Amino acid sequence: MIFLIIKAFQKLNSQIYEASGIVSAVCHGVGALLNIKSKAGELLIKDKAVTGYSNDEEVLAKALEKIPFKLEDELKSRGSKYTKASQPFTSYVVEDERIITGQNPQLTKEVAEKVLQVLRK
């Protein structure tokens, strides 16, 4: 989760989004979106539908003691509209205003396909 403190990464993604570009991430990588702000100073994910590795998946993967925070909780605390698949480790991709996120690492291809689909619009 080192991306949380990398201002250059946050600024770049904010600029991409503000220029009508797409910002996407998968699994724990969605944590990189937590502190990105818009030009207006609002968190980019505030009021946006997103997904990422769920608390249930953290428990099932026995990963809780290895992570600094629970991604699902952090996404919710920053005002996002976090949703997840009804079953852990299943397919779940969310798109909201050019923010595309996938719940778990098996979804890299599906997220990339969704990005391409949005780019072709």
- Which domains are assigned to the chain? 1-120 (3.40.50.880)
Q: The tokens of 68 are what?
A: 């600094």
Distance CA 101, CA 81 (A): 12
As to burial, measured by CB atoms within 10 angstroms (0-12 exposed, 13-18 middle, 19+ buried), residue 50 is buried
pTM (predicted TM-score): 0.91
Report CA torsion sign: 2, 25, 95, 118: positive
pLDDT higher for 10 or 110? 110
pLDDT tens across 20-74, in order? Answer: 999 999 999 999 999 999 989 999 999 999 999 999 999 998 887 888 899 999 9
Computed over every residue of the chain, the mean pLDDT equals 92
pLDDT value of position 66 = 84
pLDDT at residue 102 greater than cutoff 70: yes
pLDDT value of position 78 = 98
